[in-house]
Amino acid sequence: MAFMVKSMVGGQLKNLTGGLGGEEKSEGEKSPAEAQGMTREEYEEYQRQLVEEKMERDAQFAQRKAERATFRSHFRDKYRLPKNETDDNQIQLVGGDVELPKELAKMIEQDNEEEEEKNSVIG
């Protein structure tokens, strides 16, 4: 409540006085560093950290996509379905040598064991 009153009254007081309180830069004239309350060096370091974090997130995302593509290609091979070029491209984009996460590898292993059991009972 106090903030609302202060903003309403404070803005009107500035209009009445004509901004005689001193030389203040308007919001548009501040540099991005000053707008966030940092020095220029701190702001540059902050921006550098943001770029590094974004690159790390992108790399992790690409790795996950490649793992999923490996999983899909495994099932395509198993069920003799046609290959997908998008999956192959995603795997090669990461480096071509992608290991499945432990959970997915366990699922495939369990699936293979079930297939072997079915084949042994039938055959």
Query: What are 44-88's pLDDT values in tens digits?
Result: 999 999 999 999 999 999 999 998 888 888 888 888 889 989 988
Q: Residue 38 to residues 29, 53, 63: CA-CA distances in angstroms?
A: 15, 20, 35
Percent of the chain with pLDDT over 70: 73
Verdict on whether the full-model pTM lies above 0.75: no
Beta-carbon contacts of residue 104 (< 8 Å; ≥ 6 apart): 67, 71
